[in-house]
A and B are shown apart, each in its own frame.
Chain A
Amino acid sequence: MPSNKSVSDAPIAQFTNCRLLRGRRLQREDLWVREGKILNPEKLFFDEKGSADVQLDCKGCILAPGFIDVQINGGFGVDFSLATDDFRSGIDLVAQKILSHGVTSFCPTLVTSPPSVYHQILPQISVRNGGAHGAGILGAHLEGPFISKEKKGAHPEHCIRTFEENGFQDLLATYGSLDCIRIVTLAPEIKRSSEVIQELTKRGICVSLGHSVANLSQAEEAVQHGATFITHLFNAMLPFHHRDPGIVGLLTSDKIPAGRRVFYGMISDGIHTNPAALRIAHRAHPKGMVLVTDAIAGMGLAPGRHTLGQQVVEIDGLNTYIAGTKTLSGSVATMDTCVRHFLEATGCSVETALEAASLHPAQLLGIEDRKGTLNYDSDADFLMLDDSLHVQATYIAGEEVWRQDALGM
């Protein structure tokens, strides 16, 4: 049959009988995909006189943008902060496994580590598109080492550093190279943080505040210099106080520069934050909520002991502690579990829960023009979910990369 499309001969897939998340609502619309991007069917019809080559019945599923996890330390026995010979295959393994959790893009996260670790590991992380091989890598998230000793959480104290001496040069020397770094978490109360934040922001790197004892004005100053994210809100920072709300106060601060939004990551696994705290944050600033897993190497594995950077942790159910202590150290929750828990704990709409794991992280990283939505011309990274938000299938660039039922539809 002769091609009836003037723009491209590539096959067009039409996903029908679904409810897709678009324009902030679930709508009964079909999803059209061509060459890995979401296609505008009206333009196809009138401009190209084109039609679908293949129609796929989604059987009433919800179609949502693929989840984006901006804080994940490893999983399935792989620790992104551990420099091993087969580091690359470790990242590949995690990237492949998290497809079943609905994650189509992620930022491999490194906890506070010695410079040698950064110098060995960072060159092995490259920004790349996802596909059947695994979720796409957006760049590394470096959580530390420029953090507060008092709020180190599970990070090793002996690796914590400051940049008081040489400012940005100290940071450069520690990390080695800034290629492929997407997010840096630091404590803004460290002297010279303003210039460091400005330098990072200038280079398109997202600056996040975390593991810090900063008060609200220090946090606001950091935001004014370019910081746009808060790492796992409530955890590893001063608690909210009514006369000094600390970093938490950024959610309702009136000193945020016009046109900017502060996003905040929350681990909604039911353990790192009490559901009431989740609700308070969500209600105070719903558009800033970014769900993260903060998953560690033990995610996906049986209970027991595993490494996290320079430390040993103990997993028992959904709880992970530094071995021998009661200090929480990352989670073993999966992204889809976090989304479902968030939905249940806040009673929010399905659309809101899905956006917190897709649209908002895309907005945080400034990539919402191609990720995090099902808008026309966006990358066709999407999920088929049932009504209780269990992932049934994962698609990257329009290709099915994971399906729940191994026997196929």
Chain B
Amino acid sequence: MKLIIQETYEQASEWAAKYIRNRIVHFAPGPGRFFTLGLPTGSTPLGCYRKLVEYYKNGDLSFKYVKTFNMDEYVGLPRDHPESYHSFMWNNFFKHVDISAENVHILDGNAADLQAECDAFEDKIKAAGGIELFVGGIGPDGHIAFNEPGSSLVSRTRVKTLAMDTILANARFFDGDLSKVPTMALTVGVGTVMDAREVMILITGAHKAFALYKAIEEGVNHMWTVSAFQQHPQTVFVCDEDATLELKVKTVKYFKGLMLVHNKLVEPLYSMKETEAERSHSKKPYSD
């Protein structure tokens, strides 16, 4: 894995956004050649979304040929509820950029047959050619998407009942009222995300520090499902200082030392304004 440590939340968000931007621009998406992006929700990726919107507004990045697949959605919450993940994605990302609605895929938590909805989602990912880059976060209980502790590490998209940790963490979005928080969700499986060609996990804040420690310094364990990515060939963890508080000094020093090398992934920062020729002359980003 690459562990990218930035000082603050803003810097971590920006690094992640720059990485995504470079990946998309380098991919050179076009008609019939879509960049498939997996996307998360929650408070962690907000800073990253803000930067991506900024890049679009400056003309440096376009989402016209980007297909997105969100990780999850609550079951039983009306789609236009302000806390649904559809609303989250619309308000924080889609309404600000030039993505087409038919290229957006979010699980429907109100489908008549939930498992069929999940199976169809897997088919859509396959039909799109698989996911190029799956961006995710981590829960305080070490979950990826809603793959709660105990989830199979080879699981696929399915219905999950939320763990108490997750419900407590989400209560702040429902006026602090536990009874208002949905108890079930549709989620991509650990296996689904593992199938992506590359995975980027955003982890910021001291409250995520223990989960990060469990995910990268201990073994692969279904109680901390993010640990599954230790077995993925291309994983990037982007975090701020606070999130590293439970890691060994040795680990932090090692990866901070690698920042010189890792920063080459975001510098130079490419833009869609450049011509095809300018881009192909630049060096391919370093990979581990």
Contact = CB atoms under 8 A, between A and B. Distances in A.
Contact of A42 (B87, B100, B102): B87
Chain A contact residues, majority secondary structure: helix
Nearest to B94: A45
A378 B104 CA distance: 28
Interface in B65-91: 79-80, 86-87, 90-91
A41 B80 contact: no
A50 B87 contact: no
Contact of A49 (B79, B86, B95, B102): B102
Given A42-B90, A45-B90, A46-B90, A51 B100 contact: yes
A326 interface: no
Q: Would you call the interface of chain B mostly helix, strand, loop, or mixed? A: helix
A79 B278 CA distance: 71
Interface string A1-18: 000100000000000000
B101 A51 contact: yes
A161 B87 CA distance: 59
A46 B95 contact: no
Contacts of A30: 95
A43 interface: yes
A41 B100 CA distance: 13
Nearest to A49: B101
Contacts of A42: 80, 86-87, 90-91, 95
Contacts of A46: 79, 86, 90, 101
Interface in A27-59: 30, 41-43, 45-46, 48-51
A45 B80 contact: no
A90 B94 CA distance: 49
B101 A50 contact: yes
Contacts of B101: 4, 45-46, 48-51
Nearest to B108: A46
Most buried by B among A4, A41, A43, A45: A45
Contacts of B87: 42
Contacts of B79: 46
B74 to A, nearest CB: 15
Nearest to B103: A49
B244 to A, nearest CB: 36
Contacts of B104: 45
A41 B79 CA distance: 13
Nearest to A48: B101
B128 to A, nearest CB: 16
Interface string B94-121: 1100001110100000000000000000
Nearest to A46: B86
Given A46-B79, A46-B86, A46-B90, A41 B95 contact: yes
A75 to B, nearest CB: 41
A20 to B, nearest CB: 14
Contacts of B100: 49, 51
A341 B100 CA distance: 45
A43 B94 contact: no
B94 to A, nearest CB: 7
A115 to B, nearest CB: 53
A173 B71 CA distance: 70
A55 to B, nearest CB: 11
A339 B91 CA distance: 32
A41 B94 CA distance: 11
Contacts of B86: 42, 46
Nearest to B96: A30
A42 B79 CA distance: 10
Contacts of A51: 100-101
Nearest to B86: A46
27 contacts: A4-B101, A4-B102, A30-B95, A41-B95, A42-B80, A42-B86, A42-B87, A42-B90, A42-B91, A42-B95, A43-B80, A45-B90, A45-B94, A45-B95, A45-B101, A45-B104, A46-B79, A46-B86, A46-B90, A46-B101, A48-B101, A49-B100, A49-B101, A49-B102, A50-B101, A51-B100, A51-B101
Interface of B: 79-80, 86-87, 90-91, 94-95, 100-102, 104
Which 5 pairs from chain A and chain B are nearest by CB?
A: A49-B101, A42-B90, A45-B101, A49-B102, A46-B86
Given A42-B86, A43-B80, 15 more contacts: A4-B101, A4-B102, A41-B95, A42-B80, A42-B90, A45-B90, A45-B94, A45-B95, A45-B101, A45-B104, A46-B86, A46-B101, A49-B102, A50-B101, A51-B100
